[in-house]
A and B are shown apart, each in its own frame.
Chain A
Amino acid sequence: MKAERPKFIGARIQRFEDTRLLSGTARYIDDIVLPNMLHLNFLRAETAHATILDIDTSALADLDFPTWVFTGKDTAGLSMKAHQDVPEMQYSEQPFLAEGKVRFVGEPVAVILAEDPYKAEDAAELVFVDYDPLPVVGTMEQARDPEMPPLFDGWKGNVIVERQMKGGDLAAARAAAAHIITRTYRTQRQAGVPMEGRGVVAHYNPADRVLTVWSSTQMPHLVRTYISEELGLPESRIRVVAPDVGGGFGVKGQVYADEILIAWLAMKTGRPVKWIEDRREHLIASIHARDHEHTLEAYVSADGRLLGLKADITVDNGAYSTYPFTSAGEPGMVGKVLPGPYDFQAYEATFRAVATNKCAIGTYRGVARPSAVFSQERLMDDIAAELGIDPFEFRLKNIIRQFPYKNVLGFTYDEGSYAQSLEQMRELLAEDIAEAEVSKSSATRRVGVGIACFIEQTAHGTPDFTRRRTPIETGYIAARVDMSPDGEITIDLGLQSHGQGLETTMAQVAADALGMKPENVYVRHGDTMTTPYSVGTWGSRGGALGGGAVHIAATRIADKLRTIAAHLLQSKPDQIDLVDGRAQVRDNPGSFIEIKKIARIAQRNVEQMPDGMTPGLEAHASCDGPRDGTYANAVHAAVVEIDILTGKTKLRRFVVIEDCGTMLNPLVVDGQVRGGVVQGIGSAMLEHFIYDSECQPLTTNFADYLMPLAPEIPNIEVHHIETPTPLTPLGAKGLGEGGAIGPAAAIANAVGNALGTGVAETPLNTNAVWKLSQHIRETA
């Protein structure tokens, strides 16, 4: 089904949406203003774990403006239910507003509504909550301590879920090993931080009984379903709209309690209700990410072959389970992906999520894989160092070369360019490697080179989610394509575009299938009233599955265009080519009819159509992910220069070689890769969400929570290898997350290479690097 002669797929077309996004004419959630609107302010828990004794709202009565206040008593029974349906998982719910207890700083305790957002914030200061503090569960160790009181009634301890995955004979691998290397690696807690925070506006119209909810979300259909199920409204009467969304990165790829709460409040008050998250709220209470500890034990033969791997994985999940991926998602993903691009036959992973009095862990670009790849690729360097083998050599010795490859857990990898990308990277880095070697004699300035080689399972489909037994349940993406009588094309896309360039890439796909130009295609998305049901945009699925759905639907219309053209040109449908706006006879290009004329015939002059043909040029199609997804691969490389005496680490060079199969638009691919790498640099060197021992957050603004800024980012070199997959209609694999997956490992390996020491954790800020350089200063 691959496009025969792509003209626009693969072209570096400038993004159509940028005109709007860069000229200030985009319409974001805060731009939505409705008459009679109330503004919501959350009163959030200031203590991490406590019983609520009393909420005193009496001072609001003295205000000279009206307010509306709601607490957990008003919303009793309404909650987020995000459960993995396995016996090992301890069940919990997150009430929309705290009921009886608070479990992390930032948890919503009450909402105060007023006719002006400033007044709502003023009023919130007058509500007093009396807390009776409870012991705080603040660390993984405390969470695994059976003596600590459980966060939820009826729980046994604070391990939310602990499971295993295994394959092959681990005991035999251990027995055969000449080297056993055991290491523990940690990746820090982060926030997600899109440029635009979250926000919700809701309005209920009793005239048509339609509830409209605008939300800065990546998954409007799932928001609609959850609202329907929780509030008991028919989905047909709920419209969820994601307007222009200023970045999501997975943070907006969960359904949040506030999205349903605000819908409920709009119905309760009879007025539109608006909430725009501020940065502090975003940092403390949307979702957090990472916060892993992995202990890995590798079994390696005398000649440097990896025989087996044993892993023990703990994720500090925070208090609540997020919907729809649940608190089981993050540790389960590590267990699943740790085998990576290497060929070995024995594996056992024990993985668990533990509950602490912190903000919940959710999905953030890469989802568990930046942590998994950090550990996997740090381990590869640590083994290479222990065996005295060059890190490239050691990887090439163990890299998978035969495809399709069935891995130790039974997952089948489609073809990739693992060895080729490693070899190409080694050539690109030759001069840096030589310089790093020379710098090893310096006690003041060191250069280091590090790589990360990884695969990324992308385009997860229904079979993958069925195995997970979490509420996501399904993974297909749908699209409806329509050609109007003037030949112009509309795509109603189940994906939601929050920066991916889908308004351009999907137009390229449809244009190729229909013989038209991308400029003829209008891509609409984000509104459940116009778009077909889909799970939304996350998990590196847009190009592979959304592109697939658009291609299938457009091809159906193309087939009909060919049939009508063949009828009119006295040819056969399989002899008709759609190209440059014309339907032409393949062997006689002088015999043609303009496609827009066929479009008119199909809908206006239907008497000219073949007998019995239904009028209209409309098609709906969906595309689901293959059984095990499709595996993109990449090698990232970092070159660092370290000032040993201050710890200042300059990232001199960052190189990416990536293979995402067919590229729909290399310009968009480059942008996605570079954006991801910048976030990965943040993970590697700067971003750290810190709680103190009482679980009070310390990094609640951008002066303390440090994002990477332009001066710290080197030019990111991106090289492509294209190995199209047979598993998706266009040969595309997912690529949205990959950029963020490799940098922590590559940079840590570069720092380790420079300093001649293993690196066990991120972030590698100046203080951390200074500490790691201690041995060099001491021996100088």
Chain B
Amino acid sequence: MRPASFEYHRATSLDHALELLHEFGEEGRPIAGGQSLVPMMNFRLARPGHLVDINRLPLGGIEIDGQVLRIGALTRHEAYFNDPLIARHFPAFLDAVHYIGHPTIRRNGSIGGSISHADPTAELPAVAVLHDADIVVRSVQGTRKIKAVEFFLSAYVTAIEPGEMVVALEFPLPPSASTGSFIEQSERSGDFGTASIGITLQFAGGKIGKAAMVCSGADLFPIRAPEIEEFLVGKALADPGAAEAGRIFAASIDPVDDHIASADYRRGLIAELTRRAIEAACTRALDKS
């Protein structure tokens, strides 16, 4: 359980990091907190020939930039908890981060790392998919923005190309009459979830306007639930049909059956978490109305 040989490089600037990643191609990986990459290397499941340490780059910070909330790739998980912008605009995000790991992981782990690692049931990929975030990646060729729903391709597989690295996430700011919620269940607190559901709602006149829903645990990456998003439109906040939504959604998925949980259980759990997440979001919407 020791990593294979690799060379370590400390990047002194973003351009330096991108040059190194360009030079190493498939063999190069940026490293920040190492909370996911280092265990993978110790198991020799990841064998990068070159690690580019980006910890000293100015890539942290949570700020509003025009119509988006921009979160730098090196922002550590513990920073979300007391951030007023996240609390104000993204209640589902704030719910979700409470399920992330333990204090050590929160102190070291970064949003860029979590997104790039793409564990199927990690919280931040689900949050990005829920909020239609753009994943901002850069390489020596320049910058491109990838929609979160197009970013996660499979378990631990993303749309990042060799030579690229995530530099930020951009979350479109929602209208003020909106809210959300996120619920996860895991076997132990701090574990990756068995399943999780995130909801965002826009509302007016006691009714749901637009809705978004994300689910982890139903597939190899977080998926949206367009059927439920449509189902919720026009529903009364006081009676959104949450249980029915849970049943409909659970019937539409085909979760894995493995030693951690049976497919039946995952389906049942997802139905129930869907109900609870919708009800929680509606309760918040009513409080805010």
A binding-site residues for B, Cβ under 8 Å: 117-118, 121-122, 125, 278-280, 645-648, 686, 688, 690, 692, 698-699, 701, 703-704, 706, 708-709, 711-712, 765-767, 770-771
Instruction: Determine the chain B residues whose CB is within 8 A of the CB of A690 once the complex forms.
Output: 259
Q: Judging by beta carbons under 8 Å apart, are B269 and A122 in contact? A: no
Cross-interface CB contact of A646 among B5, B190, B191, B269, cutoff 8 Å? B269
Q: Judging by beta carbons under 8 Å apart, are A766 and B259 in contact? A: no
Q: Judging by beta carbons under 8 Å apart, are A279 and B268 in contact? A: no
Answer whether residue B185 sits at the interface, using C-beta atoms and an 8 A cutoff. Answer: yes
Given known contacts A646-B269, A770-B265, A706 and B188 CB-to-CB distance under 8 angstroms: yes
Given known contacts A121-B2, A278-B1, A647-B269, A712 and B261 CB-to-CB distance under 8 angstroms: no
Residue of A nearest to B265 (CB): A767
Q: Judging by beta carbons under 8 Å apart, are B272 and A645 in contact? A: yes
Q: Judging by beta carbons under 8 Å apart, are B43 and A711 in contact? A: no
In the complex, A704 Cα to B23 Cα: how many Å? 37
Given known contacts A278-B1, A646-B273, A701-B43, A767 and B188 CB-to-CB distance under 8 angstroms: no
Q: Judging by beta carbons under 8 Å apart, are A646 and B272 in contact? A: yes
Answer whether residue B182 sits at the interface, using C-beta atoms and an 8 A cutoff. Answer: no
Q: Judging by beta carbons under 8 Å apart, are B188 and A711 in contact? A: yes
Instruction: Determine the chain B residues whose CB is within 8 A of the CB of A709 once the complex forms.
Output: 188-190
Q: Judging by beta carbons under 8 Å apart, are B4 and A765 in contact? A: no
For chain B residues 1-56, which have a beta carbon within 8 Å of chain A? Answer: 1-5, 43-44
Q: How far is the CB of A41 from chain B (nearest CB, A)?
A: 9
B binding-site residues for A, Cβ under 8 Å: 1-5, 43-44, 185, 187-192, 194, 259-262, 265, 268-269, 272-273
Q: Judging by beta carbons under 8 Å apart, are A279 and B1 in contact? A: yes
In the complex, A118 Cα to B43 Cα: how many Å? 13
Given known contacts A122-B4, A699-B259, A701-B43, A770 and B188 CB-to-CB distance under 8 angstroms: no
In the complex, A770 Cα to B262 Cα: how many Å? 11
Q: Judging by beta carbons under 8 Å apart, are B189 and A712 in contact? A: yes
Among A122, A698, A703, A767, the most chain B Cβ lie within 10 Å of the Cβ of A767
- List the 7 closest pairs (A to B, CB-CB), nearest first: A278-B1, A711-B189, A767-B265, A645-B272, A690-B259, A767-B261, A698-B259
Instruction: Determine the chain A residues whose CB is within 8 A of the CB of B185 once the complex forms.
Output: 646, 648, 766
Residue of B nearest to A685 (CB): B187
In the complex, A278 Cα to B43 Cα: how many Å? 11
Instruction: Determine the chain A residues whose CB is within 8 A of the CB of B194 once the complex forms.
Output: 766
Instruction: Determine the chain A residues whose CB is within 8 A of the CB of B268 once the complex forms.
Output: 770
Q: Judging by beta carbons under 8 Å apart, are A712 and B1 in contact? A: no
In the complex, A131 Cα to B269 Cα: how many Å? 42
Q: Judging by beta carbons under 8 Å apart, are A280 and B265 in contact? A: no
In the complex, A646 Cα to B188 Cα: how many Å? 14
In the complex, A56 Cα to B273 Cα: how many Å? 53
Instruction: Determine the chain A residues whose CB is within 8 A of the CB of B4 once the complex forms.
Output: 122
In the complex, A709 Cα to B186 Cα: how many Å? 13
In the complex, A121 Cα to B1 Cα: how many Å? 8
Q: Judging by beta carbons under 8 Å apart, are B265 and A647 in contact? A: yes
In the complex, A482 Cα to B287 Cα: how many Å? 75
In the complex, A771 Cα to B185 Cα: how many Å? 16
Q: Judging by beta carbons under 8 Å apart, are A704 and B188 in contact? A: no
Q: Judging by beta carbons under 8 Å apart, are A706 and B187 in contact? A: yes
Instruction: Determine the chain A residues whose CB is within 8 A of the CB of B261 once the complex forms.
Output: 766-767
Q: How far is the CB of A687 from chain B (nearest CB, A)?
A: 11
Cross-interface CB contact of A767 among B1, B189, B190, B262, cutoff 8 Å? B262
